[in-house]
Amino acid sequence: MSKADNMLSILWLLRSGKRVTAEQLADELEIHVRTVYRCIDSLCASGAPIIADSGPNGGYWLLGDFVDAPLLFDSEEQKALVHASVFAREAGYPFTDALSRAFDKLKRYTNEEQLEWINRHSSGLAVIQTPTDARELELLKRLEEATARGESLNMDYAKGPELTPSHRVLDPYGIVHWKGIWYVAGFCRLRQEIRSFRVDRIVRLAAGDTRFERPAAFSARDFLLHSLFPDSLEAETLVIVRIQGHEHALNELCKHWLFGHALIERRQPGEALFKLGEPSLRTYVPYFLLPYGKSLKILEPQILIDRMAGVSLEMFKYYEAMQIKSEDKKG
């Protein structure tokens, strides 16, 4: 075990409240007694109130207040960490090995009752996600480390499977997991602006020879949302959208990533107010609403009602033409 693990194990054994000799600690942890002395010196230097008594009945023990203090996490905190690790693994978190070691340590410093609690709650939660392949995990590790260190990266990036990769130098500012896909946002020196890139489309990463300072107020999450749909939440002209409908349909709409961010007020019964950019109402918003069919009714604005009618008519004409062709072939 590492020195930190040995120190934590010694603290855990001393929490019993009994006097324990250095030899007993060494036997229990299967380490040399000199290692015990070094760990106790480090613990005392860190502020742990370890008392040493000499003599035949001597040994090490902890002050009562410290024994009563939680050394690690209570049961609810343990459950939250277990559930968070499940989400992280399934989302393709790149540092799963370190996560596994942390989880093993959590279980190591628990009693049988706490361990049973952890196992019960870890088996009761599941997350379904598209698995992230090993190559992408390695790219994510490199991107995260370069982000933290402020190191530029040489990147070959393909915008599509049939396109030739382009070379660029990237200053990575942050990675984002959104709708099952990992993105990196950063300053592209080829385009001389901040851009976002899909990690699964990165062909190659290599260390660059420059360093950078990430803007203090930069948010990779906010940048990604704005860059993917620039006219939805931060447009110059924001419009109130009032929608009425069945309760279950409105619930689903309010969970949608765009409408969830744009929600202003949920009215009863069966009505919700949103604030969206006017350009988005003329482009992609109608296509988000189309699958809800007649379970939703747009009360305002008129431009969205008109656009929904236009999109529906376009869809009708498209499939009507397909139907006519199909009937002609049969005839």
Tens digit of pLDDT at every position of the chain (331 positions): 677 778 878 887 887 777 889 898 899 888 998 999 898 888 888 777 888 888 777 888 887 655 544 555 677 777 888 888 888 888 888 888 888 888 777 777 666 777 787 788 777 777 777 778 889 999 999 999 999 999 999 999 998 777 889 999 999 999 999 888 899 999 999 999 999 999 999 999 999 999 999 999 999 998 988 877 666 656 567 899 999 999 999 999 999 988 988 899 998 789 999 999 888 899 999 999 999 999 999 999 999 999 999 999 999 999 999 998 888 777 6
134-226 CATH: 2.30.30
CA distance readout (Å), 11 to 5, 45, 79, 89, 106: 10, 14, 23, 30, 14
Return the domain boundaries, the chain.
3-68, 75-122, 134-226, 238-315
Q: Are 226 and 280 in contact (CB under 8 A)?
A: no
CA–CA separation, 155 and 204 (whole Å): 6
Fold of 3-68: Arc Repressor Mutant, subunit A (1.10.10)
Cα distance from N-terminal residue to C-terminal residue, the chain: 79
Region of 263 please: left (phi>0), alpha (psi -120 to 50) or beta.
Answer: beta
Q: Are 199 and 136 in contact (CB under 8 A)?
A: yes
Asked if domains 3-68 and 238-315 share a fold, the reply is no
Three-class DSSP category at 291: helix
238-315 CATH: 3.30.70
* DSSP result, 113-136: HHHHHHHHHHTT-----PPPPHHH
User: Residue 220, class by beta-carbon neighbours within 10 Å (0-12 exposed, 13-18 middle, 19+ buried)?
Assistant: buried
